[in-house]
Amino acid sequence: MTELLQQLINGLSLGAIYALIALGYTMVYGVLRFINFAHSDVFMIGSYVGFYLAPKLGAGSVPGGLAVLFAAMAACALLGVIIEKLAYRPLRNRSTLTVLITAIGVSLLLQNGGQKLFGPNPRAFPKLFPETQLHFGELTVSSNQLIVLAVSVFLLVMLWWIVHRTRIGTAMRALSFNATAASLVGINNDAVISFTFALGSALAGAGGILYAMNYPSIDPLMGTLPGLKAFVAAVLGGIGNLPGAALGGLLIGLVETFISGTRASTFRDAIAFAILILILLFRPAGLLGKMRVEKV
Amino acid sequence: MKLFPRTLALLFLLIALASGGCKRAAAPGATTPIRIGEFSSLTGREAGLGQYTHMGVLLALEELNAAGGLLGRPVEVIAEDTQSKAGESVIATRKLVSRDHVIALIGEGASGRCLEGAPIAQDGHVPLVTPSATNPKVTEIGDYIFRVCFTDPFQGTVMAKFARDSLKAHRVALLVDVGASYSVGLAEFFKERFKADGGVIVAEQKFAGGDKDFRAQLTAIKAANPDAIFAPCYYGEAGLILFQARQLGITLPILGGDGYEAPELIEVAGAAAEGAYFPVHFSLESTDARSRDFVQKFTAHYQKPPTGVSALGYDAMMLLADAIRRAGTTDGPAIRDALAATHDFDGVTGRIAIDVARNARKSASIIQVRKGRFQFVETVAP
């Protein structure tokens, strides 16, 4: 029982990070209908921003740690906007496939540029927050895991609020619903798309920091696997659907953790991806996605 | 046009003369030095490994020459750089064997690059002694390939013995990287010995190299209630395993392999690295007189302390010198036989015997992380 609860906590804290990254994929898909494969590398840049800023912003205390977190989010938001402006905007009226290939190109650029800039070897990520272990009977929860959960929940609530309660959020939803009609009623599509990238990339930056806090060894290729898992999570939940991405992330995290704890641990990824295939077979639009009739 | 064949003939004659001249220059004489080739990663990613090995080799060389050389002749080391790159070892060994006509080779502490160069030494019947290539396949290449370090399987055995005898562990859990033959090999030999000594393996969890999340496996291990955890892997994963184990409140001793020996282990794991045990080839804090003497000489000579591979480089050179002395000649086959017959060579890394598989039979030093430093605990013989 204790083991089950412990695995549940492990799975949730891993899933929460997947959820944060998955939201970025799903938001960009919502407005532009393409998968931004560079997203997982923005996540990596987020942890490197944390790595370099941590000593300067007084990491190791709660305000210092939060400062690093927000700085990384801001830096990633800026990076997201720049990537969109330089790489994707010129291709706005091209086919989705062209943009998709460009996204892979940007991803490779960030990975290899990162290897050149940061060095290819793994670096030790500094401590951001004071750390303790909390014991609940047999259960052990590290304060880092709690911070991951708390920050994720806070960011999810914030995101929900922005998307559903602000003018720019309404514009995002309108754009996602019908881009031409949105521009007809006076929405500045380019500005909204920039904002979407900023928001998604900020979440990836936060994910990068939280991930590095829990797995304090960072390298320029670290984004690939979590990025892939988060992409799967976004598809699992129904791509383009925000609560779906969050749910998908948590599910993938939990499934992985529970399988890792058994004898079948080496089949972890195989089982996670098999679940994806099954769900797509029976619910092609994902768990929470709605089937849409494609107009030709 | 008639002149042409004659020019060619002249050219061939010149070449023949030149190469004949070359051979004459390399012919042994009282004062011509004995040439030993070294191929190491002197630059590139593993430059640290190669440079420290090279310093050990040079220290041994100086001592040999100061004592009058070998067989009445001075000794010379020709060092080639493999640049830490795949493929370069082949070029380096070819040059050393066919152009420099070295009588023996020392080299490449990295197993992968040693595996590249060794076949050339084997084909040329030039004995090769590797300082620190631990992969079992290296000496399997042929009967001219030897090593002064211990092998991967051997580490598993030693750690099992240490866990059973010194830590008094009865129940051990394994955490194995199934993607690395290094890890799988260590775990297998650990299991074999530990069970033979009456221990029980209570859990065997697996992961794949590059994984960062070990919480699930560690939680399962914790539930199995072991006395110790054996997690053989390289320092990258080891740091994260130690970190996450302590986060989950696991205070058991964690044991590893020589892949733990890197400053990055402590950088990543921080305070969580405290208490981890692993075997090393050589410890700076060893109490053995020979080891202490070596550390002193090395530090005086280079103004910095040696690493494990420096000691192995030194031993490789000295073992080779010992074999040449016993062989009484610089003939490849004779040196090979003398190397194979080594049974009690006193090296700075311990007493070395060469077994039938041309591996060194010797003891290992066990290290524990204490206060952020690698501290010597004890020596374990297999």
Domain boundaries, chain B: 34-150+287-363, 153-280
Asked whether residue A283 is assigned to any structural domain, the reply reads no
- In this prediction, residue A43 carries a pLDDT of 96
Q: Which residues pair with B207 in a beta bridge?
A: B177
Q: What is the mean pLDDT of residues B68-86?
A: 89
**Tens digit of each residue's pLDDT (9 = 90 or more) over B118-151:** 999 999 999 999 998 888 888 999 999 999 988 8
How close does chain B come to A160, measured CA to CA in Å?
A: 29
Topology given in CATH for the domain delimited by B153-280:
Rossmann fold (3.40.50)
Residue B212 has its nearest CB partner, among A2, A127, A217, at A217
Any idea which residue has 């998604």 for tokens? A200
Closest CA to B185 of B157, B165, B209, B207: B157
Among B181-185, B211-215, B327-331, which stretch is predicted with the lowest mean pLDDT?
B181-185
Q: CB burial class (10 A; 0-12, 13-18, 19+) of residue B37? A: buried
pLDDT over 60 at B5, yes or no: no
Q: Which residues of chain A lie closer than 8 angstroms to B219, CB-CB?
A: 3, 6-7, 10, 261
Sheet holding B350-354, edge to edge: B345-347, B350-354, B360-361
A254 domain residue, yes or no: no
CA–CA distance from B90 to each of A4, B131, B139 (Å)? 53, 18, 17
Is A261 close to B239, i.e. CB distance below 8 A?
no
CA separation for the pair B367, B382 (Å, rounded): 16
Distance (Å) from the alpha carbon of B54 to chain A's nearest alpha carbon: 24
pLDDT recorded at residue B192 = 92
Is the predicted pLDDT of residue A3 greater than 90, yes or no? no
The pLDDT tens digits of the residues spanning B39-61 come to: 998 887 677 788 889 999 999 99
Which chain B residues in 7-26 lie under 8 Å from chain A, judged by CB atoms? none
Q: What is the pLDDT of residue B26?
A: 44
Cβ pair B219:A10 closer than 8 A: yes
Give residue for tokens 């395993």: B241
Q: Is residue A132 part of a domain?
A: yes
> How far is it, in rounded angstroms, from Cα A60 to Cα A54?
8
Report the residue of B175, B183, B202, B219 to disrupt the A interface, i.e. the one with the largest count of A CBs within 10 Å.
B219
Establish if A245 belongs to a structural domain.
no
Pick from A140, A214, A216: which is nearest to B268 by CB? A216
- For residue A145, the enclosing domain spans 15-223
Q: Tell me which chain A residue has its CA closest to the CA of residue B221.
A: A261
How much is the pLDDT for B9?
A: 56
Strand partners for B351: B346
Under DSSP, is residue A91 helix (H, G, I), strand (E, B) or coil? helix
Fold (topology level) of B34-150+287-363? Rossmann fold (3.40.50)
Q: Collect all residues with Cβ–Cβ distance below 8 Å to B266 and sequence separation of at least 6.
A: B239, B273, B369, B372
Assess if residue A284 is contained within a domain. no
* Residue A157 belongs to some domain of the structure: yes
pLDDT in tens, B251-281: 899 999 888 887 778 888 888 889 999 998 8
Six-digit token pair at A265? Answer: 């641990």
Which residue of chain A has the CA closest to B217? A261
The minimal CB distance from B212 to the residues A135, A215, A261 is found for A215
Interface check for B262 against chain A (CB to CB < 8 A): the answer is no
Q: A258 lies in a domain?
A: no
pLDDT at B11: 52
Structure tokens at A110: 């960030």
A8 assigned to some structural domain: no
Give yes or no for A135 touching B (CB within 8 A).
Answer: yes
Chain A touched by B381 (CB under 8 Å)? no
Contact A3 B264 (CB under 8 A): no
- Please state the ipTM of this predicted complex: 0.80
Q: B216, A11: Cβ pair inside 8 Å?
A: yes
pLDDT of residue A276: 83
Domain count within chain A: 1
| Per-chain mean pLDDT for chain A | 90
Rounded alpha-carbon distances, angstroms, from residue A211 to A43, A203, B208: 9, 12, 18
Contact criterion met (CB < 8 Å) for B178 and A140: no
Tokens matching residue B274: 């405290």
Share of chain A above pLDDT 90, in %: 57
pLDDT score, position A4: 87
Smallest CA–CA distance, residue B240 to chain A, in Å, is 6
